[in-house]
Amino acid sequence: MDLMEYKARELFERYEIPVMKGVVIEDVSSLQEKTSGLAFPLVVKAQVQTGGRGKAGGVKTADGPGELNEAAGSIMGMNIKGYTVKKLLLVEKAEIEKECYLSITLDRMTKMPMIIFSTSGGVDIEETARITPEKVLKYAVDPLVGVRDYTARYLLSKSGLDMSLLGLFFDLLKKLYGMFCEYDCMLAEINPLAISRDNRLIALDGKVSVDDSALYRQPDILAFRDSLQEEELVLEARKFNFLYIPCDAEGHIAVMSNGSGMIMSCIDLISKQGMKVRAGLDLGGGATADRIKEAIRIVLSNEETKALFINIFGGITRCDEVAGGVKLAVESMPGNKLVIVRFEGTNKEKGLQILSEIKGNVVYVNGLQDGVRELYERREQM
């Protein structure tokens, strides 16, 4: 789960990591009221879940109210890599002496949190590592030991920065590491980390990514995720621990399975036949009749979805439960949309018997290729 900058900034403030004074706005008409306590010049930043905002024109500086209105008006609503800007972060501009890079990430090689530090901040760390690899320092943190003063001393001395920053840098490292661990982060990044002209360390920008599998332990991050402008069906599916995946807005076919690999295989084969998949739904574990019913209801509630291909395979999956869910869904829903079913597992014969009793446009197929072929033959009906 990638956080927007303003949410990362909230975490920084919670852990007393220094940031510049700022506010978040959702309506440019509130500019004057919201910025009354801020001092110019201000930096206006688009809030989207992607990088490259500056290059796309999503970051601008304003020296006065007129420039602020112009900058905010031009950024709000713009499209950056497919994301529409609906919030702006306005912060006071810092007097910077030097920009550095600092992050903690989960390193899969060492299986430890890895501190990455560079005196070249404000740019992509990958680019710095490619051009001047000697400027990128790494330090693996033993979770049983944590961040110590010698960690900060090593990074500062190797970077060539003034050791007078040791106390501030060590304090910042401890706080960032604490946040990284307590919020189940995959990445906690400050870029740039500014050294101000009065010798302070300030987080000018932040990127935080939280482990999706640990979100149940982070209620405030869950609330942030649910506050994002997502498709209604994505949110509806999430209530049942389903993963609804929007695909092609021009498609009329949906795919449902109990695994992302199965879904991708279905989409690939359907696409090769020149058909378009509108959405996929991953059931996850526990394919009971009630869950199957709810999943079908969610997928087929989209009026543009004309056909559903259910492809479920599992050694312990009960096929009679799958068939029972299909029956419950079809009998309780208006219309007569095409439902193609393929399943393998326990009680397959019982499942086939249940499907044969359904009064609806339901077809059973023996395999993935057969299901795609059935969709192709009925494509004129979609």
Cα angle 118-119-124, degrees, rounded to a multiple of 5: 60
What is the model's pLDDT at position 376?
Answer: 94
C-alpha to C-alpha distance for 330 and 293, rounded to whole angstroms: 8
Starting at the edge strand that comes first in sequence, how are the strands of the sheet with 253-257 ordered?
Answer: 243-246, 277-282, 253-257, 307-318, 338-346, 362-364
Residues in Cβ contact with 115 at an 8 Å cutoff, skipping those fewer than 6 apart: 102, 103, 104, 138, 139, 140, 141, 147, 151, 155, 173, 177
Catalytically active residues, by annotation: 101, 189
Superfamily of domain 96-221: ATP-grasp fold, B domain (3.30.470.20)
**In 3D, which of 225, 280, 283 has the Cα closest to residue 255?**
280
Residue written as tokens 């008409």?
29
- Token digits of residue 193: 């980390």
Residue written as tokens 């049983």?
144
The predicted-structure confidence for 188-207, as pLDDT tens digits, reads as follows 999 999 999 999 999 999 99
The predicted-structure confidence for 239-265, as pLDDT tens digits, reads as follows 898 999 989 888 999 999 988 888 999
Q: Which CATH class is domain 231-381?
A: alpha beta
Q: Which CATH class is domain 21-93?
A: alpha beta
Give the pTM. 0.70
What is the model's pLDDT at position 260?
Answer: 81
Sign of CA dihedral 328, 329, 332, 336: negative
C-alpha to C-alpha distance for 325 and 209, rounded to whole angstroms: 36
The percent of residues in the chain predicted with pLDDT above 90, rounded, is 72
What is the model's pLDDT at position 230?
Answer: 64
The predicted-structure confidence for 163-173, as pLDDT tens digits, reads as follows 999 999 999 99
Per the CB < 8 A criterion, the answer to whether 207 and 185 are in contact is no
What ranges do the domains of the chain cover? Answer: 21-93, 96-221, 231-381
State how beta strands 253-257 and 277-282 pair.
Answer: parallel
Could you list the mean pLDDT of each consecutive 10-residue stretch along the chain, which spans 382 residues?
93 97 93 92 92 87 94 92 88 94 94 95 79 90 95 95 96 98 97 93 95 91 78 86 89 92 92 94 86 95 94 84 94 88 92 92 94 92 73
C-alpha to C-alpha distance for 265 and 270, rounded to whole angstroms: 9
What is the model's pLDDT at position 63?
Answer: 95
Beta bridge partners of residue 130, listed in sequence order = none
What's the farthest any 2 CA atoms get from each other in the chain? 80
Per the CB < 8 A criterion, the answer to whether 31 and 25 are in contact is yes
First-residue to last-residue Cα distance in the chain: 35
State the virtual CA torsion across 33, 36, 37, 43 in degrees, nearest 10.
Answer: 100
